[in-house]
């Protein structure tokens, strides 16, 4: 009975003290796309992605009922950094759903006009508010409604002690009259609390976000590390900490009489555990803050990484000394000359190979379909010379002479070949992630291999000029560029063997590979030049290329290709590609194939659509 009454009391007091309206809640997932579009339309950085903010303790004074219920200690507030615009995962601050939705849109507009991040928090937000209202005057009525609703839910200055009340009055004035407050009154008492959360403003970025990973600085976990790649994505409050260097810590790791619990980070050097703890995600949810440090890699991914390094005898053969290529650094807004080293490679002892029997029927069907695109000979009439007489032209010419006129046309028929004046370079992502299995019998790399073979079979029927290359990378000094078929070579048994020999490599430094592919394609004498990219994920590498840096470099490489007169187009099997490919290739510059096993069949047909006159 006591337990039952306790639950009733807990539920009642928690609901009474909540201060929010679950029935009017709006989730970020409902407005994420809209907020992202508006953020960019309002002038925000198009390279920033929209993600959920974490809940943090605000430390502000709470109402008596909230203290009794132990609620409202944490809140998720909007913030932006160099890579992300973070918005609350849910807003239920107002009784009207429309107001909660408007708050998301206002925060997107505010972030788009946040042009002075180095200023103090209250100055920065006032300036951003003024800029947003000046650029978007239609938002003013919504902003005024949001201010009125927000002020109604805040603790009144009369209920606060003197110094807190002075700050609250200044913040209220800053909301109602942006730009009118140049400084906040100081807090003078040790019992004073910081201001209540300002839902209509952006919060300052935490100072503890500095990377302290030491030896592993700049590295990201290898592809395939961990067993929960498709797990639910969730934001956590985290900090980077130093890892102790002691190899043999004296702290006992286990005592028989201790209870198994999860606790905050203790700075000791723990040994590797080969298996991941399946309860780690639930434990992370229970901790107020995750303390992160890096040793480079997990044990399992290190073993995988070592096994993936081929010996010189088993590796592909390098062609030439390599090529120095630039890379775009968006942080300094400059192209770093000779920043990357790309090594052309060709399969060693690939020999000759026939088309796999399981592809023969599909290849025959594609050859029949693509035969209609092959250049056809046609007769040209009234030519000055040719293989046969044009009887109609001869009759007209005779009539012209009889009437005293000079014939204006010839009297012969000539054959002409209708050429398709185009060239295509197909660039395949051969990174480590292509080693993933998509069925009991096929990996991603197997699907890519079949796609390249069928693509080649189809284009060899049309007579179009085409080249096929693959790439992977291991940091900027080791970008592997595999020659499978060049423009001058024929698609024969040797080229087929090189395609059959492809295997998963390392990572996806796409910018350098795109630049090299673009330079090759730009040399081809064709009016239409198509740069076709096949990939299974976004650009990444062991260093900072896994972050926005890689996205921006790839985007710049795509722009450079377009300036050369090329048409880049990306074909991907990544289901999340819609979050980044429109920024890289434009809204009409990519295609997402939901079922990877459909890629071999759809790729040649997609090429036919892209090259249709």
Give mean pLDDT, residues 496-507. Answer: 93
What band does 399 get if pLDDT is binned at 50, 70 and 90?
confident
Residue 165: how many other CB atoms lie within 10 Å? 16
- Does position 263 have pLDDT exceeding 60, yes or no? no
What band does 579 get if pLDDT is binned at 50, 70 and 90?
confident
- Does position 214 have pLDDT exceeding 50, yes or no? no
Q: What is residue 401's predicted lDDT score, i.e. its pLDDT?
A: 81
Contacts of 156 (CB under 8 A, 6+ apart): 168
Residue 135: how many other CB atoms lie within 10 Å? 13
Residue 546 and residue 220 in contact, taking contact as beta carbons nearer than 8 Å = yes
Q: Which of 351, 350, 344, 349 is nearest to 318 (CA)?
A: 344
What's phi and psi for 360, nearest 5 deg?
-60, -45
Cα–Cα dist 51/43, whole Å: 18
Q: What percent of the chain has pLDDT over 90?
A: 38
Give mean pLDDT, residues 55-72. Answer: 66
Q: Which of 603, 539, 531, 549 is nearest to 577 (CA)?
A: 539
Q: What is residue 228's predicted lDDT score, i.e. its pLDDT?
A: 44
| Exposed / middle / buried, residue 432 (Cβ in 10 Å: 0-12, 13-18, 19+) | buried
Q: What is residue 381's predicted lDDT score, i.e. its pLDDT?
A: 76
Identify the CATH class of 323-370+420-610. alpha beta
Q: Which of 135, 138, 17 is nearest to 66 (CA)?
A: 17
Q: What percent of the chain has pLDDT over 70?
A: 74
Cα–Cα dist 295/293, whole Å: 7
Cα–Cα dist 184/169, whole Å: 9
Beta bridge mates, 173 = none
Cα–Cα dist 519/566, whole Å: 10
Q: What is residue 210's predicted lDDT score, i.e. its pLDDT?
A: 40
Q: What is residue 375's predicted lDDT score, i.e. its pLDDT?
A: 58
Q: Which pTM value belongs to this model?
A: 0.67
Q: What is residue 221's predicted lDDT score, i.e. its pLDDT?
A: 44
What's phi and psi for 267, nearest 5 deg?
-80, 80
What band does 405 get if pLDDT is binned at 50, 70 and 90?
confident
- Does position 211 have pLDDT exceeding 60, yes or no? no
* Strand-strand pairing, 49-52 and 84-87: parallel
* Strand-strand pairing, 528-535 and 422-429: parallel
- Does position 411 have pLDDT exceeding 80, yes or no? no
- Does position 490 have pLDDT exceeding 60, yes or no? yes
Strands (E), 28-93: 49-52, 55-57, 74-76, 79-80, 84-87, 90-91
Q: What is residue 226's predicted lDDT score, i.e. its pLDDT?
A: 42
CATH 3.40.50.410 segments of the chain: 323-370+420-610
Contacts of 484 (CB under 8 A, 6+ apart): 347, 428, 452, 468, 469, 470, 495, 498, 499, 502
What's phi and psi for 291, nearest 5 deg?
-100, 120
Tens digits of per-residue pLDDT, 34-58? 888 888 888 888 878 888 888 887 7
Give mean pLDDT, residues 308-314. Answer: 59
Cα–Cα dist 353/492, whole Å: 9
Q: What is residue 184's predicted lDDT score, i.e. its pLDDT?
A: 86
Tens digits of per-residue pLDDT, 265-283? 555 555 555 455 556 666 6
Tens digits of per-residue pLDDT, 554-576? 999 999 999 999 999 999 999 88
């Amino acid at each position: 009975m006591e337990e039952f009454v306790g639950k009733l009391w807990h539920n009642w007091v928690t609901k009474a003290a909540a201060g929010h309206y679950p029935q009017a809640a709006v989730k970020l997932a409902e407005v994420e796309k809209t907020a992202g579009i508006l953020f960019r339309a309002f002038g925000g950085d198009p390279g920033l992605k929209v993600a959920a903010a974490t809940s943090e303790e605000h430390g502000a004074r709470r109402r008596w009922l909230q203290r009794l219920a132990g609620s409202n200690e944490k809140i998720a507030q909007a913030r932006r950094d160099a890579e992300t615009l973070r918005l609350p995962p849910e807003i239920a601050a107002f009784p009207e759903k429309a107001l909660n939705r408007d708050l998301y849109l206002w925060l997107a507009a505010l972030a788009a006009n946040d042009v002075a991040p180095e200023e103090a928090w209250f100055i920065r937000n006032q300036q951003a508010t003024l800029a947003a209202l000046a650029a978007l005057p239609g938002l003013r009525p919504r902003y005024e409604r949001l201010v009125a609703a927000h002020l109604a839910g805040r603790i009144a200055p009369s209920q606060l002690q003197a110094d807190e009340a002075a700050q609250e009055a200044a913040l209220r004035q800053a909301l109602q009259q942006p730009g009118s407050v140049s400084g906040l009154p100081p807090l003078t008492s040790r019992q004073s609390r910081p201001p209540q959360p300002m839902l209509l403003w952006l919060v300052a970025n935490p100072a503890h976000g500095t990377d302290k990973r030491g030896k592993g600085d700049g590295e990201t976990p290898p592809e395939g590390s961990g067993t929960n790649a498709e797990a639910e994505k969730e934001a956590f409050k985290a900090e980077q900490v130093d890892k102790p260097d002691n190899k043999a810590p004296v702290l006992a790791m286990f005592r028989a009489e201790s209870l198994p619990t999860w606790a905050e980070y203790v700075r000791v050097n723990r040994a590797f555990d080969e298996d991941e703890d399946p309860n780690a995600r639930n434990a992370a949810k229970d901790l107020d803050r995750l303390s992160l440090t890096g040793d480079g890699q997990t044990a399992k991914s290190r073993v995988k990484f070592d096994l993936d390094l081929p010996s010189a005898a088993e590796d592909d053969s390098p062609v030439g000394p390599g090529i120095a290529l630039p890379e775009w650094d968006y942080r300094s807004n400059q192209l770093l000359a000779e920043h990357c080293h790309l090594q052309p490679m060709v399969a060693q002892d690939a020999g000759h190979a026939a088309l796999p029997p399981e592809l023969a029927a599909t290849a025959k069907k594609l050859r029949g379909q693509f035969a209609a695109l092959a250049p056809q000979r046609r007769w040209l009439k009234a030519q000055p010379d040719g293989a046969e007489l044009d009887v109609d032209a001869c009759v007209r010419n005779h009539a012209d002479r009889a009437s005293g006129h000079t014939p204006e046309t010839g009297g012969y028929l000539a054959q002409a070949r209708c050429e398709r004046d185009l060239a295509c370079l197909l660039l395949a992502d051969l990174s480590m992630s292509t080693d993933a299995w998509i069925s009991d019998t096929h990996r991603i790399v197997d699907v890519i291999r079949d796609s390249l073979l069928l693509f080649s079979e189809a284009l060899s029927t049309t007579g179009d000029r085409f080249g096929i290359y693959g790439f992977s990378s291991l940091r900027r000094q080791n970008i592997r560029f595999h020659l499978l078929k060049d423009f001058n070579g024929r698609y024969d048994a040797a080229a087929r063997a090189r395609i059959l020999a492809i295997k998963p490599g390392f990572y996806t430094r796409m910018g350098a590979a795109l630049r090299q592919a673009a330079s090759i394609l730009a040399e081809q004498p064709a009016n239409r030049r198509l740069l076709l990219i096949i990939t299974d994920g976004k650009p990444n590498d062991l260093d900072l290329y896994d972050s926005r840096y890689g996205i921006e470099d790839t985007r710049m490489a795509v722009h450079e290709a377009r300036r050369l007169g090329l048409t880049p187009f990306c074909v991907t099997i990544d289901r999340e590609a819609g979050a980044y490919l429109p920024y890289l290739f434009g809204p009409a510059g990519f295609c997402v194939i939901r079922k990877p096993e459909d890629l071999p069949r759809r790729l040649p047909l997609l090429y036919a659509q892209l090259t249709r006159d």
